Chains A and B, each alone.
Chain A
Amino acid sequence: MRKDLPIDILSAVEKPARYTGMEFGSIVKPESETEVAFCLAFPDTYEIGMSYLGYKILYEILNKLSGVAAERAFAPWVDMEEKMRERGLVLSSLENTRPLKEFDLLGFTLLYEMSYSNILNMLDLGGVPLLAKDRTLDDPFVCAGGCCVFNSEPLADFLDFCMLGDGERIIQEVTLLYRDWEREGKPGGRLGFLRRVSRIQGVYVPSFYEITYGEDGTITGKKPLEPTASEVVYKRAEQDLDALDFPTHPIVPYSDTVHDRIMLELFRGCSRGCRFCNAGIIYRPVRERRPGTVLELAKKLVPATGYNEISLFSLSTADYSHLEPLIRELLGDFRKDRVSVSLLSLRIDSFSVKLAQEVQAVRKSGLTFAPEAGSQRMRDVINKGVTEDDLMHAVGAAFENGWSQVKLYFMIGLPTETDEDVLAIAKLAQKVQWKYKEVTGHMGARVTVSVSNFVPKPYTPFQWVGQDTKEEFDRKHMLLKNAFANLKNIHFQYHDSRTSLMEGVLARGDRRLGKAIYLAWQRGAKFDSWSEFFDYDRWKQAVEDAGLTTDFYNSRPRGKEEIFPWEHTSCGVSRQFLWSEYEKAQEAALTHDCRRDTCTGCGVCQKLGIHIIDWKEGKA
Chain B
Amino acid sequence: MKLRLQITKESGIRFISHLEYQRSIEKAIRRAGIPVAYSEGFNPHMKFSLASALSVGVTSSCEFAEIRLAEERPLSELVKALAAALPMGIHIVRADLAEDKAPKLMAQAQGASYEVHVPCASDPASQLAAFAAAPEVPYTKAHKKGKGKPKTIDVKSFIPQVEARWQDGSLELRFDIRITPTGSMKASEFLQVLEQDFQVPLAFSQADIRRVDLYSRDGEGRKIPLIGEA
Could you list which residues of chain A lie within 8 angstroms of chain B, going by C-beta atoms? 1, 6-8, 10-12, 16-17, 19-24, 26, 252, 254-256, 302-308, 337-338, 362-363
* The stretch of B23-31, B104-112, B157-165, B211-219 that contacts the partner chain: B23-31
Contact check, B30 vs A7: say whether CB atoms are below 8 A apart: no
The distance in angstroms between the C-alpha atoms of A255 and B208, with both chains bound, is 22
Chain B hits for A308, CB < 8 A: 30
* The stretch of B38-46, B61-69, B137-145, B147-155 that contacts the partner chain: B38-46
Proximity string of chain B (1-40) to chain A, C-beta cutoff 8 Å, 1 when within and 0 when not: 0000000000011011100110110111111010000100
Chain B hits for A24, CB < 8 A: 24, 27-28, 31, 85-88
- Whether a CB of chain A sits under 8 angstroms from the CB of B57 is yes
Smallest beta-carbon distance B223→chain A, Å: 28
Contact check, B88 vs A22: say whether CB atoms are below 8 A apart: yes
Chain A hits for B78, CB < 8 A: none
Is the contact region of chain A dominated by helix, strand, or loop, or is it mixed? loop
Contact check, A254 vs B42: say whether CB atoms are below 8 A apart: no
Contacts A12-B205, A252-B87, A337-B30 aside, 12 further interface pairs with beta carbons under 8 A come to A6-B206, A11-B56, A17-B16, A22-B12, A255-B17, A302-B30, A303-B33, A306-B29, A338-B38, A338-B44, A362-B42, A363-B43
The distance in angstroms between the C-alpha atoms of A252 and B25, with both chains bound, is 11
Smallest beta-carbon distance B129→chain A, Å: 28
Please tell me the size bucket of the interface on B: 20 to 34
The 25 listed contacts between A and B (C-beta, < 8 Å) are A8-B206, A11-B15, A16-B56, A17-B13, A17-B17, A20-B12, A20-B13, A20-B16, A21-B12, A22-B87, A22-B88, A23-B87, A24-B24, A24-B27, A24-B28, A24-B85, A254-B13, A254-B23, A255-B16, A303-B30, A303-B31, A304-B31, A306-B27, A307-B30, A338-B38
Identity of the chain A residue whose Cβ is nearest the Cβ of B203 in the assembled complex: A8
Contact check, A20 vs B205: say whether CB atoms are below 8 A apart: no
- Whether a CB of chain A sits under 8 angstroms from the CB of B51 is no
Chain B hits for A12, CB < 8 A: 205
Contact check, B89 vs A22: say whether CB atoms are below 8 A apart: yes
Contact check, A254 vs B57: say whether CB atoms are below 8 A apart: no
Chain A hits for B56, CB < 8 A: 11, 16
Identity of the chain A residue whose Cβ is nearest the Cβ of B57 in the assembled complex: A11
- Whether a CB of chain A sits under 8 angstroms from the CB of B121 is no
The distance in angstroms between the C-alpha atoms of A293 and B27, with both chains bound, is 24
- Whether a CB of chain A sits under 8 angstroms from the CB of B207 is yes
Contact check, A22 vs B13: say whether CB atoms are below 8 A apart: yes
Contact check, B43 vs A362: say whether CB atoms are below 8 A apart: yes
Smallest beta-carbon distance B114→chain A, Å: 15
Contact check, B20 vs A255: say whether CB atoms are below 8 A apart: yes
Contact check, A252 vs B57: say whether CB atoms are below 8 A apart: no
Smallest beta-carbon distance A110→chain B, Å: 29
Contact check, A7 vs B208: say whether CB atoms are below 8 A apart: yes
Smallest beta-carbon distance A272→chain B, Å: 35
Chain A hits for B31, CB < 8 A: 24, 303-306
Total cross-chain contacts (CB, 8 A): 86
Contact check, A252 vs B27: say whether CB atoms are below 8 A apart: yes
Chain B hits for A1, CB < 8 A: 12-13
A305: contacting residue among B16, B20, B27, B203, CB under 8 A: B27
The distance in angstroms between the C-alpha atoms of A16 and B17, with both chains bound, is 9
Smallest beta-carbon distance B107→chain A, Å: 28
Identity of the chain B residue whose Cβ is nearest the Cβ of A338 in the assembled complex: B44
The distance in angstroms between the C-alpha atoms of A361 and B66, with both chains bound, is 30
**Top 6 A-B pairs ranked by shortest CB distance?**
A306-B27, A24-B87, A16-B15, A8-B205, A306-B30, A306-B31
The distance in angstroms between the C-alpha atoms of A338 and B29, with both chains bound, is 13
Contact check, A254 vs B20: say whether CB atoms are below 8 A apart: yes
Chain A hits for B43, CB < 8 A: 362-363
Given that A17-B17, A303-B31 are known contacts, is A254 also in contact with B12, CB under 8 Å in the complex? Answer: no
Smallest beta-carbon distance A358→chain B, Å: 15
Chain B hits for A338, CB < 8 A: 38, 44
Which of B15, B28, B42, B207 has the largest count of A CB atoms less than 10 A from its CB?
A: B15
Identity of the chain A residue whose Cβ is nearest the Cβ of B43 in the assembled complex: A362
The distance in angstroms between the C-alpha atoms of A201 and B129, with both chains bound, is 75
Smallest beta-carbon distance B109→chain A, Å: 25
Chain B hits for A20, CB < 8 A: 12-13, 15-16
Identity of the chain A residue whose Cβ is nearest the Cβ of B44 in the assembled complex: A338
Q: Find residues 174-217 in chain B having any chain A CB closer than 8 Å to their own CB.
A: 203, 205-208
Identity of the chain A residue whose Cβ is nearest the Cβ of B209 in the assembled complex: A7
Chain B hits for A21, CB < 8 A: 12
The distance in angstroms between the C-alpha atoms of A12 and B87, with both chains bound, is 25
Identity of the chain B residue whose Cβ is nearest the Cβ of A362 in the assembled complex: B42
Smallest beta-carbon distance B86→chain A, Å: 8
Given that A20-B15, A305-B31, A306-B30 are known contacts, is A7 also in contact with B207, CB under 8 Å in the complex? Answer: yes
Which of A20, A23, A306 has the largest count of B CB atoms less than 10 A from its CB?
A: A306
B206: contacting residue among A7, A23, A363, CB under 8 A: A7
The distance in angstroms between the C-alpha atoms of A529 and B89, with both chains bound, is 34
Chain B hits for A16, CB < 8 A: 15, 56-57
The distance in angstroms between the C-alpha atoms of A494 and B52, with both chains bound, is 44
Proximity string of chain B (59-97) to chain A, C-beta cutoff 8 Å, 1 when within and 0 when not: 000000000000000000000000001111100000000
Smallest beta-carbon distance B41→chain A, Å: 9
Identity of the chain A residue whose Cβ is nearest the Cβ of B119 in the assembled complex: A8
Identity of the chain B residue whose Cβ is nearest the Cβ of A9 in the assembled complex: B205
Contact check, B27 vs A10: say whether CB atoms are below 8 A apart: no
Which of B13, B38, B56 has the largest count of A CB atoms less than 10 A from its CB?
A: B13
A306: contacting residue among B12, B13, B16, B28, CB under 8 A: B28
Smallest beta-carbon distance A151→chain B, Å: 38
Identity of the chain A residue whose Cβ is nearest the Cβ of B208 in the assembled complex: A7
Chain B hits for A306, CB < 8 A: 26-31, 85
The distance in angstroms between the C-alpha atoms of A362 and B41, with both chains bound, is 10
Smallest beta-carbon distance A446→chain B, Å: 21
Contact check, A256 vs B206: say whether CB atoms are below 8 A apart: no
Identity of the chain A residue whose Cβ is nearest the Cβ of B86 in the assembled complex: A24
The distance in angstroms between the C-alpha atoms of A304 and B30, with both chains bound, is 9
Chain B hits for A26, CB < 8 A: 88
Chain B hits for A255, CB < 8 A: 16-17, 20
The distance in angstroms between the C-alpha atoms of A484 and B87, with both chains bound, is 50
Contact check, A11 vs B205: say whether CB atoms are below 8 A apart: yes
Chain B hits for A363, CB < 8 A: 42-43
Smallest beta-carbon distance A326→chain B, Å: 22
Chain B hits for A6, CB < 8 A: 206
The distance in angstroms between the C-alpha atoms of A130 and B40, with both chains bound, is 57
Chain A hits for B12, CB < 8 A: 1, 20-22
The distance in angstroms between the C-alpha atoms of A258 and B29, with both chains bound, is 23
The distance in angstroms between the C-alpha atoms of A20 and B17, with both chains bound, is 12
Chain B hits for A302, CB < 8 A: 30
